[in-house]
């Protein structure tokens, strides 16, 4: 496989609203990110994926874009953006822009025009439908609740929105619309960015008449065209968000021979605590499922694709809260998760604060919730007679605000995030969990991440090595070996808060190069793993 810069890279996701405020208005901004570049350089990351910073009315915190060529004034100016690209670049850090082109804001000029009349030249940039028997054209649902169709009084038609009604869906079947998107992408490529993270890319080929939302028949033709017309000639990282992807679908996107994307985000692992399709319907973490799913993806792609590796992002609960223990074994389990993920094959992503072991942030009342998805779910369920307490419990477990509370920098007021009133409450655990405390403790979670990120840059074994699961007979334990040109790496992890008796035959006495407990010589034929214990060892033949 041809080598790419993003093969041994680690990407850090920034949710700009919550990263660092520089002017005391309570909202994170681009100058705040510039101020924190030293911190990111110290962590060792290769690139930043910046959640959207474009002009937006913020119905969905920037995932509703009103102008792709302008920076949201709350976040700064285009000059700030250029400075960020340049200053990050000086530190060897690329900027990956979030590309949200499944939909725009209803305040985008195209939609404002489109709404004016049926014969407006922008009408077909969106998807319109006559009422059927005085009602919505069909039963398609919005992912944020309710119908996916919104009636427009003035022109007497419905428009499609798979997200909020302030996020009308773009019509990818329209070649003029596609050309305008490609021009916009070139504008950003010319600014020297390192790539694109592509929001809900799986939905571009939608065919609402046939009730098709994801994986429509034209999807891959559109992505191939986009590749050819824009980033194909540049050495960029492109990563598509694909909730419905299985390994076969992933290969369609990321097989280099198909000239589409570098990789996708698949979400199968994130369903390990979900009972059925509904994200709000949870169950206890299913560790065997989690292991099976990780193994499946490690083995499936081969040379026909490339994995992304992540535990969390701005839509998911905090990793340590979902997969570890965010109370007694917070530090141990956060390090365990880092060790397991970062030694797999693929490109790892770290979501801001994950490297500090930041946790979910419970609320007492719906008035504290900012996220539109949680708000809509709450309103819908309350109207059906659900109990407030049950709904808040769901939101505290899975709600998107958990990951969106401000970054915890130090123990000063508002965790050092802002000198003003933060737009979203700061987690009260910030006096204990913060970057300064981590940086001052050489055994902190931060340094586990730093070590893993550096190791990947230096060892082809982690980047290109084969993957084999080692069967331990223990449901709660995950063990694997990576192998490359006669070198071997063994990784062992306990996903539970219980002791686990490991007895693996055929391994020599080992010493760990990274671990979350102090380790001496390891005898794997009789090793009792402590709660959430994890380590990795190089094996010399």
Q: Which is nearer to Ca ion, 23 or 227 (CB)?
A: 23
Smallest distance from ligand TEU to CB 218, Å = 20
Helix, strand, coil abundance in the chain, percent, nearest 5: 35, 20, 45
In whole angstroms, what is the distance from residue 242 CA to residue 178 CA? 20
Which does residue 21 bind out of ligand TEU, Ca ion, none, counting CB within 5 to 8 angstroms by kind?
A: Ca ion
The token pair that represents 206 in the structure block: 């939608």
Which does residue 200 bind out of Ca ion, ligand TEU, none, counting CB within 5 to 8 angstroms by kind?
A: ligand TEU
The enclosing H or E element of 82 equals: helix 78-90
Q: Does 366 bind ligand TEU (CB under 6 A)?
A: no
Smallest distance from Ca ion to CB 54, Å = 16
DSSP 443-457: TSHHHHHHHHHHHHH
Q: Does 29 bind Ca ion (CB under 5 A)?
A: yes
Which does residue 23 bind out of Ca ion, ligand TEU, none, counting CB within 5 to 8 angstroms by kind?
A: Ca ion
Provide φ and ψ at 146, rounded to 5°.
Answer: 75, -175
Smallest distance from ligand TEU to CB 88, Å = 22
Smallest distance from ligand TEU to CB 395, Å = 11
CB 101 within 8 A of CB 198: yes
CB 167 within 8 A of CB 161: yes
Smallest distance from Ca ion to CB 138, Å = 43
In whole angstroms, what is the distance from residue 521 CA to residue 503 CA? 15
Q: Does 80 bind Ca ion (CB under 5 A)?
A: no
Q: Confirm whether 441 is a catalytic residue.
A: no
In whole angstroms, what is the distance from residue 406 CA to residue 415 CA? 8
Q: Which is nearer to ligand TEU, 251 or 400 (CB)?
A: 400
- Rg over alpha carbons for the chain, rounded to the nearest Å, is 23
Q: Does 23 bind Ca ion (CB under 5 A)?
A: yes
Q: Does 199 bind ligand TEU (CB under 6 A)?
A: yes
Beta-carbon contacts of 233 under 8 Å, excluding residues fewer than 6 positions away, are none
Return the number of other C-beta atoms located less than 10 Å from residue 407's C-beta.
25
* Catalytic one of 21, 74, 241, 315: 241
Pick the binder of Ca ion from 27, 185, 461, 515 (CB under 5 A). 27
Q: Does 21 bind Ca ion (CB under 5 A)?
A: yes
CB 318 within 8 A of CB 268: no
Q: Confirm whether 241 is a catalytic residue.
A: yes
Q: Binding mask 294-333 vs ligand TEU (x if CB under 6 A, - otherwise)?
A: --------------------xx------------------
Return the number of other C-beta atoms located less than 10 Å from residue 120's C-beta.
15
Smallest distance from ligand TEU to CB 244, Å = 9
Smallest distance from ligand TEU to CB 358, Å = 18
Q: Does 106 bind ligand TEU (CB under 6 A)?
A: no
DSSP 398-447: H-GGGGTSPP---SSGGGGS-SS--SSPPPTTTTTS-HHHHHH-TTSHHH
Pick the binder of Ca ion from 4, 5, 25, 116 (CB under 5 A). 25
Q: Which is nearer to ligand TEU, 346 or 399 (CB)?
A: 399
Q: Binding mask 394-413 vs ligand TEU (x if CB under 6 A, - otherwise)?
A: ------x-------------
Which does residue 527 bind out of Ca ion, ligand TEU, none, counting CB within 5 to 8 angstroms by kind?
A: none
The token pair that represents 72 in the structure block: 């949201």
Pick the binder of ligand TEU from 6, 12, 15, 63 (CB under 6 A). 63
Smallest distance from ligand TEU to CB 213, Å = 10
CB-based burial, 238-266: b 16+ in 10 Å, e otherwise: bbbbbbebebebbbbbbbeebebbbbbbb
HEC-encoded secondary structure of 13-50: EECHHHCCCCCCCCCCCHHHHHHCHHHHHHHCCCEEEE
Q: Which is nearer to ligand TEU, 395 or 437 (CB)?
A: 395
Which does residue 25 bind out of Ca ion, ligand TEU, none, counting CB within 5 to 8 angstroms by kind?
A: Ca ion
Active site residues: 199, 241
Q: Which residues bind ligand TEU (CB under 6 A)?
A: 60, 63, 100, 143, 163, 199-200, 241, 243, 279, 314-315, 373, 400
Q: Which residues bind Ca ion (CB under 5 A)?
A: 21, 23, 25, 27, 29
């Amino acid at each position: 496989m041809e080598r790419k810069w993003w093969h041994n890279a680690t990407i850090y996701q920034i949710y700009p609203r919550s990263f660092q405020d520089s002017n005391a208005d309570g909202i994170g901004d681009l100058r705040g990110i510039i101020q924190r570049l030293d911190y990111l350089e110290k962590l060792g990351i290769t690139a930043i994926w910046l959640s959207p910073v474009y002009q937006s009315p913020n119905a969905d915190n920037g995932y509703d874009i009103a102008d792709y060529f302008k920076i949201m004034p709350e976040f700064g100016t285009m000059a700030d953006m250029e400075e960020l690209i340049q200053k990050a670049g000086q530190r060897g850090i690329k900027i990956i822009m979030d590309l949200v082109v499944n939909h725009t804001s209803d305040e985008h000029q195209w939609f404002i025009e489109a709404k004016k009349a049926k014969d407006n030249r922008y009408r077909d940039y969106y998807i319109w439908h006559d009422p059927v028997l005085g009602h919505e054209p069909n039963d398609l649902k919005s992912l944020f609740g309710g119908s996916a169709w919104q009636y427009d009084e003035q022109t007497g038609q419905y428009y499609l929105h798979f997200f909020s009604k302030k996020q009308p869906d773009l019509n990818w079947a329209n070649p003029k619309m596609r050309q305008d998107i490609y021009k916009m992408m070139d504008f950003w490529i010319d600014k020297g960015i390192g790539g694109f993270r592509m929001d809900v890319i799986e939905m571009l080929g939608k065919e609402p008449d046939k009730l098709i939302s994801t994986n429509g028949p034209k999807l891959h033709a559109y992505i191939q065209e986009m590749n050819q017309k824009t980033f194909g000639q540049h050495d960029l990282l492109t990563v598509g968000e694909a909730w419905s992807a299985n390994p076969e679908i992933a290969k369609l996107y990321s097989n280099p021979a198909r000239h589409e994307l570098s990789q996708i985000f698949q979400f199968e692992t994130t369903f390990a605590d979900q009972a059925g399709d509904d994200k709000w319907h949870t169950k206890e973490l299913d560790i065997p499922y989690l292991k099976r799913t990780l193994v499946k993806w490690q083995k499936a792609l081969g040379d026909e694709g490339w994995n992304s590796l992540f535990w969390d992002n701005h839509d998911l609960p905090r990793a340590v809260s979902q997969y570890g223990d965010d109370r007694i074994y917070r530090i141990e389990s956060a390090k365990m998760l880092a060790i397991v993920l970062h030694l797999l094959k693929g490109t790892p992503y770290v979501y801001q604060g994950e490297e500090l072991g930041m946790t979910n942030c419970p609320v007492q009342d719906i008035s504290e919730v900012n996220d539109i998805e949680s708000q809509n779910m709450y309103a819908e369920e309350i109207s059906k007679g659900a109990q407030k307490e049950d709904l808040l419990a769901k939101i505290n477990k899975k709600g998107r605000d958990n990951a969106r509370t401000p970054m915890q920098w130090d123990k000063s007021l508002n965790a050092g995030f802002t000198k003003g009133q933060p737009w979203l409450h700061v987690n009260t655990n910030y006096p204990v969990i913060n970057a300064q405390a981590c940086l001052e403790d050489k055994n902190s979670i931060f340094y586990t991440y730093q070590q893993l990120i550096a190791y990947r840059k230096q060892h082809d074994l982690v980047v290109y090595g084969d993957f084999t699961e080692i069967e331990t007979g223990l449901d709660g334990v995950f063990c694997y070996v990576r192998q490359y040109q006669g070198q071997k790496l063994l990784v062992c992890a306990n996903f539970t808060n219980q002791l686990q008796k490991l007895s693996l035959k055929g391994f020599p006495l080992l010493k760990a190069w990274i671990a979350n407990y102090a380790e001496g010589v390891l005898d794997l034929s009789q090793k009792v793993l402590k709660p959430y214990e994890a380590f990795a060892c190089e094996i010399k033949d």
